[in-house]
Amino acid sequence: MISTVLILPASLLATGLLLGSTLLLAGMIDLRWYWLPDRITLPMAAIGLLVAAVDGNGLNALIGLASGAGLFLVVRVAYKMLRGREGLGMGDVKLAAAMGAWLLPAGLFYAIFIAALTGCVVVLTRTLFSRPQITAATRIAFGPLLIVGFWVEWLTYHS
């Protein structure tokens, strides 16, 4: 949260603190229980749409929300078909939708790239330094990785 206070203009400080706190809570829950609650992701998406509408970006936010949800829904279904098991939860789909609402389409894809890059670093680090080794069956919470991308992109855009 220190980054919020140091980087953001005063007019966005309250929004940044609320968003950052919500993302931190969601990430902690997903790390512990592999679950992103609807009570967090759905209001986050709605507030993102509202903030964008006030800023005159309502249509772009709606496109971002649909893009995030649609892309992650396709990945979820494809993984299930290919692997025969769940690999991406609906909480991740709803978080991606919220990301799209807040970040708009262009920011959404930068955030996903940051999340994927962060995920590669985490998996590589865990593969090299943890026991037991990571396998194809190892569960990794994707929500916190998405949250890192979301937060970095949101701060970058607003600083």
The mean pLDDT of 116-131, rounded to a whole number, is 92
- How far from 90 is each of 2, 41, 46, 70, 155, CA to CA, in Å? 31, 10, 17, 11, 26
| 126-133 average pLDDT score | 84
- Model confidence at 132: pLDDT above 90: no
Average pLDDT on 60-85 reads 97
Q: Please state, in angstroms and as integers, the Cα–Cα distance from residue 75 to each residue in 7, 157, 158, following that order.
A: 34, 27, 29
56 falls in which pLDDT band (50, 70, 90)?
very high
Here the tokens at position 94 are 């709803």
Q: Give Cα separations from 135 to 124, 130, 131 (angstroms).
A: 12, 12, 11
CB-facing half-sphere around the CA of 28: CA atoms within 13 A: 6
pLDDT over 90 at 1, yes or no: no
Query: Considering the chain, what percentage of its residues have pLDDT values greater than 70?
Result: 97
Tell me the C-alpha distance between 130 and 53, whole Å. 46
**Confidence band for 3, pLDDT divided at 50, 70 and 90:** low
Close Cβ partners of 107 (under 8 Å, ≥ 6 residues apart): 64, 153, 154, 157
Instruction: Look at residues 105, 21, 12, 98 and name the one whose alpha carbon lies nearest to residue 67.
Output: 105
- pTM, two decimal places: 0.95
From the number of C-beta atoms within 10 Å of its C-beta (0-12, 13-18, 19+), residue 97 rates as buried
Q: Stretch 54-67: mean pLDDT, rounded? A: 98
For residue range 27-41, what is the model confidence (pLDDT) as tens digits? 999 999 999 999 999
Q: Tell me, what's the pLDDT at 133?
A: 80
Contact 36, 30 (CB under 8 A): yes
